[in-house]
Chains A and B, each alone.
Chain A
Amino acid sequence: MKESVGTTGLILNEPLLWEKGKKGRCGFSLPRRDVESFPLDQELTAEGPDFPDLSEVDVVRHYTRLSQWNFGVDTGMYPLGSCTMKYSPKTNEKQASLSGFSGAHPLLPASLSQGALKIMFELEQYLAEITGMDAITLQPAAGAHGELTGMLVIYAFHKKKGAQRSKIIVPDTAHGTNPASAALCGYRPVPVRSNEQGILSVEAIAEVMDEDTAGIMVTNPNTLGLFEENSQAIADLVHAKGGLVYCDGANVNAVMGMVKMGNIGVDVMQLNLHKTFSTPHGGGGPGSGPVCVKKHLESFLPVPRVVEENGRYLLVENYPESVGKVSAFHGSVGVMLKAYSYIRSMGPKNLKRASQLAVLNANYIKERLKGTLHLPYDRPCMHECVFSDKHQATQKVATLDMAKRLMDYGFHPPTVYFPLVVHGAIMVEPTETESKEEIDQFIEAFKAIVNEAKEAPDLLHDAPKSCKVRRLDETTAARKPCLAG
């Protein structure tokens, strides 16, 4: 095997912010005072907050050192399943930081914000084309926020029909956020098991779908990385009983240009711009979770909507059936700009190519690692593949140990212990932006680790050894929480 990319490097220690600094320092160029001081009732004021006083150099070193304890896509391969950690193009960052966008006040009159509105309008059109849906709201600020918005739309639909329903079907291969999103709308999730092939069967849905069920939340491709082959028949069945089909579109990176969810019976879906459309995840956000609906649900979308009239763009509030607002303003516009920039850079053929290559990378890993790791569903996968630690059980090595050991080899671990349907799951999503050489090195690293599991399992139990810290005591963190210093 080629020399591993993982080394210890030179990692510097850095205290907490308030363990540094001295009274009298400041890292901010205070603006000139050009007006007099006015009286202010002392009853209203207090001493300033207890912040540390640091110079600009202190602040810069602090965060530079902290950043070096982190691993991002720009550092190396980050095959976190279901998270689509593809490369985030630098030009997107540049476009979003243009002063006309970053400096724009959200309540500017439409006449003064045409450029921003045009981008939102066109992005909606592009997303509609990619998904085969009819109308889009960009307002939800994250994937789960989109799920909630989608559920609100479904709730409003049933309410308008005058017969609210109490349940929603959520399969075991759906994303973890789905049940909580449904519960926020008062729907009780009804679990359904996937079949031995890892997908939903029409029969399993027929058993639970009834006229008190608002619909189904399907993640497609699902969290096993498999395409729901029966989706059209399931949609027909749900529709026949008056329900709606919600598609969690977090995994659309597998099917751009190949499948349009709007053509296979989906009524509502969310997209994750921070997954499929390359916007960076920022260590946990911000994201953006546009919701796409078919025509018959358009009137329920959040307001304001961006509308075009004779080449001018307007924000329109007048949709009386709308669910209302899910963000104070228009959602994560800064994120939308990056997704827009990505779609314009890629064009139709490259988007399709991206999905094809994402699927190629995942299948390649599946084929090359399936003799090494247990593969519970040995079928063609989409953008991700799911292994388990079954073969390692006899060596008393678990998924977590292999994941931690991957760090020493210079890779971010895959998603582990999810989906729950696979015991000790290892969910690998390479994305299309990893080259064959990177992937080969990842495969070799995994093979070396599986070998170590047989010959020197303590290397795995003690991993990682080359990060800033060793394994952390999460139990004590939760039992005796220390959330602020």
Chain B
Amino acid sequence: MLYLPHTREDIASMLQVVGVDDLDDLFSTVPEDCRCKGDLNLPEPLTEWELNDHMAALSNSVAVSPEYKVFMGAGSYEHFIPASVSYLLGRSEFVTCYTPYQPEMSQGTLQAIYEYQTLAARLLGMEIATASHYDGATALAESLLMAIRVTRRRKVAVSRLIHPLYRRVVQTYFEPTGYEVVELGYLESGVTDLTGLDDVDDLAAVAVQSPNFFGCIENLRAIGEVAHDKKALFVASFTEALAYGLLKNPGSQGADIVAGEGQSLGIPSSFGGPALGMLASRKKFMRSLPGRLVGQTKDLDGKRGFVLTLATREQHIRREKATSNICTNNSLCALAAAMYMASVGEAGIRELARLNYDKAEYLKKELKNAGFTIRFDNPTFNEFVVEFPEGFKTTYERLLEKKIVAGLSLAPFYPELANHSLLCVTETRSKEDMDALVREVKS
């Protein structure tokens, strides 16, 4: 086997040093009745070449670009990724190292994550960002638990326009805690309705996503003011990080904690993961942050260097009183995001975000012209809700045959929005793709 370097002679001489006769004897401390009888029932090994064929066949059965035109976002967005980013990310010094516990041997990862923390904080308009979390949903759940720790209050208000799957993760995390999640409804215009907050006391956080699940841009400033009036923290969530290349960032609008998904920043969809949970906050909450943090320091010669820091918040030191149980996070995804942000730069990200906005507006206009209803008036970023006529399911199925995925049906998530779909357009969809979609849904 090519990953097992031991020759027969190696094994014999090593067993002799250990003082046993054969490999099974190494397991003398495992009681007889704990041992497996017989071999594992698994497929026999494939050669590298057989594996290539096997995996290629499975990969080919999945509907992806460029063969398929997928008009679906909803928390996972198709964006162009430069070859330089994929190539650099494959450098095995980054890929095959562990969490940087030994900083002298891990300065590459540490500086890169420090740079990620900085660029993430700048993108979100916050003072500090963590080294990464598993995904947007867990980052949100952890940020709400953090708000509870900071405020010592027991309830959080969560907009129904936060990604429905994120809300389910929040529910799962909250179930054993005894803390309460209050849901806020939405207005006809497609943004969060805050009237539900009127009678809520003991509020630790108000959490809203912008652009929200319907693609609508929320008035973050106004929501932040309401949250602060109630002495709660304002938690801003997001699923499309690219939006902040163009839109006012949550920090400038009064957010105390920002938590969301950074997959758009150079990370492939990969059927939903690995992803990039981004979590940023104001500096005063630094010691309540969950997860890893990298900080700048100096070495014995006074040279700049970087280390994992503020470990007294963490599980291996604080044990059950830790701010989180996180050990592994999604460091390599954070590195991808940093490389991507460095590649697009300030001017590039603004232009790219603007192109996403304009393309979605183009599709909106064409769908309107074709007689479909755009459900919400509020400005949107790169996705929006369309009302299709009764029986759209047949059209949707017909379009699949033509290798077009016409958005995501909202009925399973919002029963009141039967016949409504969430459509997404990024820079990867051309005018021809959009024209073809409109032509097909019309026919």
Contact = CB atoms under 8 A, between A and B. Distances in A.
A152 B88 CA distance: 38
Contacts of A349: 39, 45
A344 B44 CA distance: 7
Interface stretch (B152-160, B189-197, B223-231, B243-251): B243-251
A349 B15 CA distance: 19
Contact of A177 (B306, B310, B327): B327
Contacts, number: 684
A436 B315 contact: no
Interface in B26-78: 26-31, 33-36, 39-46, 48, 51-52, 54-65, 68, 70, 72, 74-76, 78
A185 B137 CA distance: 18
B168 A324 contact: yes
B316 A56 contact: no
A66 B41 CA distance: 44
Nearest to B295: A477
Interface string B100-142: 1111111111011111011101110001110110111110000
Nearest to B312: A478
Across the A-B interface, give the 3 residue pairs with the lowest CB-CB distance, nearest first.
Answer: A329-B272, A106-B272, A100-B59
B58 A115 contact: yes
Nearest to A474: B307
B333 to A, nearest CB: 6
A330 interface: yes
Contacts of B10: 435-436
In this complex, the member of A37, A119, A141 whose beta carbon has the largest number of chain B beta carbons within 10 angstroms is A141
A104 B400 CA distance: 15
A360 B14 CA distance: 7
Interface string A27-60: 1111101111110110011111111111010011
Contact of B329 (A45, A64, A102, A142): A142
Given A66-B112, A108-B271, 5 more contacts: A38-B357, A70-B94, A93-B95, A101-B59, A107-B408
A469 B90 contact: no
Contact of B128 (A44, A97, A483): A483
B320 A329 contact: no
Given A71-B105, A148-B325, A31 B427 contact: yes
13 contacts: A72-B93, A91-B48, A113-B63, A115-B60, A177-B325, A286-B328, A328-B261, A329-B271, A341-B55, A346-B3, A470-B299, A477-B307, A482-B295
A67 interface: yes
B99 to A, nearest CB: 4
Contacts of A44: 217, 247-248, 379
Contacts of B391: none
Contacts of B339: 59, 63
B42 A325 contact: no
Interface stretch (A201-209, A257-265, A388-396): A257-265
Nearest to A48: B350
A19 to B, nearest CB: 10
A321 to B, nearest CB: 12
Interface string A250-290: 00000111111001100000000010001011111111000
Nearest to B14: A364
Interface residues of B, number: 199
Interface string A332-360: 11110100010111111111111011011
Contacts of A256: 40
B124 to A, nearest CB: 8
B178 to A, nearest CB: 7
Contacts of A41: 379
A454 interface: no
Given A71-B105, A112-B62, A264-B34, A473 B297 contact: yes
A64 B117 contact: no
Interface stretch (A227-235, A239-247, A291-299, A445-453): A227-235
Given A35-B431, A413-B102, A116 B48 contact: no
Contact of A25 (B93, B297, B345): B345
A354 B4 contact: yes
Contacts of A80: 98, 101
A85 interface: yes
B248 A45 contact: yes
A367 interface: yes
Contact of B51 (A34, A63, A75, A95): A95
Given A68-B108, A98-B56, A436-B14, A49 B249 contact: yes
A481 B171 CA distance: 33
A327 B135 contact: yes
A242 B350 CA distance: 59
A88 interface: yes
B58 A49 contact: no
B264 interface: no
A284 B100 contact: yes
A460 B107 CA distance: 20
B297 A472 contact: yes
Interface string A404-441: 10010000110100100000000000001111100000
A63 B45 contact: no
Nearest to A185: B176
A435 to B, nearest CB: 4
B187 interface: no
A contact patch SS? loop
Given A59-B343, A155-B176, A334-B274, A483 B318 contact: no
Contacts of B95: 72, 74, 88, 93, 280, 282-283
Interface in B273-321: 273-275, 286, 292-301, 303, 305-307, 309-312, 315-316, 318-321
A73 interface: yes
Given A46-B247, A155-B176, A380-B29, A281 B96 contact: yes
Given A105-B269, A115-B59, A478 B310 contact: yes
A327 B137 contact: yes
A245 B237 CA distance: 37
Interface in B202-229: 217
Contacts of B361: 35, 38
B347 A152 contact: no
B30 A227 contact: yes
Given A232-B33, A285-B132, A30 B325 contact: no
A378 B80 CA distance: 56
B232 interface: no
Nearest to B30: A227
A287 B273 CA distance: 10
A144 B326 contact: yes
Contacts of A232: 31, 33-34
B13 interface: yes
Contacts of A75: 92-93, 96
Interface string A169-200: 00000001101111111101100000000000
B364 to A, nearest CB: 9
A62 B56 CA distance: 34
B307 A130 contact: no
Contact of B165 (A87, A329, A382, A485): A329
A429 B54 CA distance: 33
Given A332-B274, A434-B5, A484-B128, A72 B94 contact: yes
Given A52-B342, A60-B84, A471 B299 contact: yes
B296 A477 contact: yes
Contact of B40 (A25, A176, A352): A352
B62 A257 contact: no
Contact of B117 (A73, A464, A478, A483): A483
B370 interface: no
A333 B348 contact: no
Contact of B34 (A26, A263, A348): A263
